[in-house]
Structure 1
């Protein structure tokens, strides 16, 4: 797409030498060219002149950037969505962090690609012993989209599981549990982590699982053994078929079951679901 962007500017420069400009083309022609650019490139070209600005707002340009089932996404996420918005404004609204289900989930579109991302808070999971403060607390933090995370003091049997039903656009997706070993805090503006209380996680792998109602699923055993930083632990990948119209139903879990030792000192933030091609964007795991 970047080559298209540079080509347009080269054309503009060449035509200016002939006392004409690319901006003299009808808006409909310019809009047809903009179809080949990504959203950020379209927004940059909108600043070139008035004709480009008009072409960059044409509905069919932004309709091509929206997920094919964007109306189902809007219906799932918003209680009241303005019906008068142009497609460019619909795209901009969906690129924001849109919280729903009482703030326990957030969905957004990647600004450059229009791909959908979803995150589910630990508050929306069923966690063993979560109501007993001897084991768990919810603690506030600016390091979470949700403003708080579930913090485990210690427990014999760790299990966190949940379920989501959402109209994912067609594509391949990867699921990750976002976990921090040790309790993070700030001192004099610096991020610190005291890992002296971390225990039990190096005895055997933690199991990350998921399954879908159409038969997909996986189990990913992995040692949770890196204190002091947020890690995305891969639970597996799933595919949404282009012919699928019903929302995708997914169950997921993170478990560490062993009654001979205690696990402790861990923060559980969320489950995140990204397009699989975004995997390099998440932190190493």
Structure 2
């Protein structure tokens, strides 16, 4: 008798791989494993869109998270002191997270961004892979298109795709 063990490491997608229009400030920070984050200082709308084309996941259920922070990461005298001065507008309308797969699965979730000064993994949605060794396409987005008010002070670090049974996310 033989056993096949598949270990799936989470997929982490760096925000620099996103197409940004217009280009936000990419600022350095020790708070990201990529050493840089996108900082949206003042915007009227935001649409972050990503896609994995024909990615081969092991069979199972998966969750997608956006790692975001309201406020600009800063350090003073070696201590973490987030700059919250430009955080505004995120409490007026919720952001919408969308997840869809090439086999027709769809998930939508809306929430208000919260916890200024802290990195938060916002749950965008879930999907399932039923067929073993069958590539699947996954699209994911975070959208807040409401030009009636400005918003700002948002840091975008990365997108995490991990098995849904993972009981704990990486430390923010």
Higher helix content, 1 or 2: 1
Q: Which residue of 1 aligns with 2:4?
A: 64
Q: How does 1:132-147 map to 2 (within 5 A)?
A: 136-147=24-35
CA contact (8 A) 2:87 2:154 kept: yes
For residues 18-50 of structure 1, the C-alpha deviation after alignment (integer angstroms, 9 at most, x for no partner) is xxxxxxxxxxxxxx9xxxxxxxxxxxxxxxxxx
Q: Which residues of structure 1 form unaligned runs of 5+?
A: 1-31, 33-59, 68-113, 131-135
CA deviation string 1:155-182 (max 9, x = no partner): 1111110111321111111100000110
- Aligned partners of 1:128 and 1:160 also within 8 Å: no
Out of 13, 20, 28, the position equivalent to 1:120 is: 13
- State the alpha-carbon separation in 1 of the partners of residues 21 and 73 from structure 2: 22
Q: Which runs of 4+ in 1 moved over 4 A?
A: none
Write 1 or 2 for the structure with the bigger share of strand.
2
Matched positions, count: 171
Taking the aligned partners of 1:279 and 1:161, their CA distance within structure 2 comes to 26
Give structure 2 stretches of 5+ with no counterpart. Answer: none
How is 1:185-224 mapped onto 2 (pairs within 5 angstroms)? 185-224=74-113
TM-score, length-scaled by structure 2: 0.91
State which structure, 1 or 2, has the greater radius of gyration over its C-alpha atoms.
Answer: 1
Aligned to 2:152: 264
Higher relative contact order, structure no. (Cα contacts within 8 Å, ≥ 6 residues apart): 2
Question: For the aligned residues, what is the CA RMSD?
Answer: 1.9
Q: After superposition, give the CA deviation of every residue in 1:56-87 in whole Å (9 maximum; x if it has no partner).
A: xxxx7xx733x2xxxxxxxxxxxxxxxxxxxx
- Could you report, residue by residue, the CA deviation over 1:256-278 in whole angstroms, capped at 9, with x for unpaired residues? 11111111011001110111111
Between the aligned partners of 2:132 and 2:102, the Cα distance in structure 1 is 12
